[in-house]
Structure 1
Amino acid sequence: MKLVPVTAHLHDVSLAPLTEADRKEMQAAAADLALFRYWPRDMAADKWNQNFDWMLQEQAAGRWLLHTVRAGNGQILGQTCYLAIRPEHKGLEIGGTWYVASAHGTQVNPACKLALLDNAFACGAERVELKTDARNARSRAAILKLGASFEGIFRRHLLLPDGQWRDTAWFSILREEWPNVKAGLEARLSAM
């Protein structure tokens, strides 16, 4: 599996690899800290540059492939990423996703996931994981709506910045499931 970043435009949503040039616009879009309630990193404004630098370092090291998500008019809507990339096992995770509140419940997430999943399987992935804080009902519902299979809860999986433990809900899509999942996503997007 040789994973490559996604550059795509579909359903009035664009994905492109994250670059240094996105820093200030991303920071402005990420100002609503409620977006990061369940995140394992402290995304407070005073830590934004430190977090952005860390993301670029992870990308440079090949551990993450981060994508900026924009509306058709160029406005930044959020980010979504490939991470936990395991070429030797032909697996990866899609995560590190956040969107501005106005993008919730729209075509943005299914369009992004369609592009990322299609690329991952085209690059040779056998398994794509999606994870979220077990308390994050909206995210869990969105992942299931994509067509992913729920695999269970990893208890005390991550220690959060506020000192609480995160139980993590795990989901996956396998290569042989992808054609049906893809058809479902395409039908869903066509109906929007």
Structure 2
Amino acid sequence: MDLRPRVLENEFVRLEPMEERHREPLRPVADDEDIWTLMTLPGFGPHFDTWFDMMLAAQDRDQISHVVHRKSDGKVVGHSAYLLIAPAHQRVEIGWTFYAAEARRTAVNPACKLLLVGNAFDSGAQRVELKTGGKNLRSQGAMTKAGFVREGTWRSHLNTWRGERRDTVYFSVLPEEWPGVKAGLEARLSAFSRDAA
């Protein structure tokens, strides 16, 4: 597996590998405490710079963070990353995903997943995994709707930054499952294209 930072884009979104120049455009998107409720670290308000610096530092290890631009207006509307990149095991996780409220339940998330998962498989991945908090029903619903396979729940898996114990629900997709998942994502995006026409 040879997963490298590069710009990914389609009709709906442009994902740029995170750089220092993205700090200020991303800051207002992250400034929503609700985004961070079930995460291990906060990234809103006074916590943003610490979180952003951590994401930048991880770019040199086993992570590729992406800043999400909406193509219709060029606005920065979110963040999503390849995490725990494991070339020896041909495995990668997609996570640290969040979007501005205005971009949720739009074409943005399926467009991002289409790019990120497709690029991972094109780069030699044999497994793409995603995880979310046990209480994050919106995220679980989106993953189920996209066709990712729900693998199970790791009970009392992580501490959130608020000190709560978090159950974590794991999803994945394998290369042989990708054509069906891809077709589903493309169908959803096609519906968004028709709605915009």
Shorter-chain TM band: over 0.9
Q: Secondary structure of 2:59's partner?
A: helix
Q: CA RMSD in A?
A: 1.0
Structure 2: how far apart are the matches of 1:5 and 1:141?
29
Counterpart for residue 96 of structure 2:
96
Q: Secondary structure of 1:106's partner?
A: coil
Map 1:108-187 to 2 at 5 A.
Answer: 108-187=108-187
Structure 2: how far apart are the matches of 1:36 and 1:47?
11
Structure 2: how far apart are the matches of 1:15 and 1:44?
21
1:8-46 deviations in Å (ceiling 9; x for gaps): 322321111111000011111211111211111122311
Displacement of 1:163 after TM fit? 1.1
Counterpart for residue 195 of structure 2:
none
Counterpart for residue 66 of structure 1:
65
Structure 1: how far apart are the matches of 2:128 and 2:43?
26
CA contact (8 A) 2:43 2:49 kept: no
Structure 1: how far apart are the matches of 2:86 and 2:12?
31
1:102-156 deviations in Å (ceiling 9; x for gaps): 1111000000000001100000000000100010000000011111000000011
TM-score (norm 2): 0.94
Displacement of 1:164 after TM fit? 0.7
CA contact (8 A) 2:30 2:44 kept: no
Structure 1: how far apart are the matches of 2:4 and 2:44?
30
CA contact (8 A) 2:43 2:52 kept: no
1:32-64 deviations in Å (ceiling 9; x for gaps): 111211111122311211111111000122x11
Structure 1: how far apart are the matches of 2:26 and 2:70?
13
Q: Secondary structure of 1:97's partner?
A: strand
Aligned residues: 191
Counterpart for residue 31 of structure 1:
31
Q: Secondary structure of 1:175's partner?
A: coil
What is the percent sequence identity of the aligned residues? 44
Task: Name the amino acid aligned to 1:84.
Answer: L
Structure 1: 4+ residue segments shifted above 3 A: none
Task: Name the amino acid aligned to 1:65.
Answer: I
Map 1:18-57 to 2 at 5 A.
Answer: 18-57=18-57
Q: Secondary structure of 1:176's partner?
A: coil
Displacement of 1:6 after TM fit? 4.1
Structure 2: how far apart are the matches of 1:87 and 1:12?
29
Q: Secondary structure of 1:22's partner?
A: helix
In structure 2, runs of 5+ residues without a counterpart are 193-197
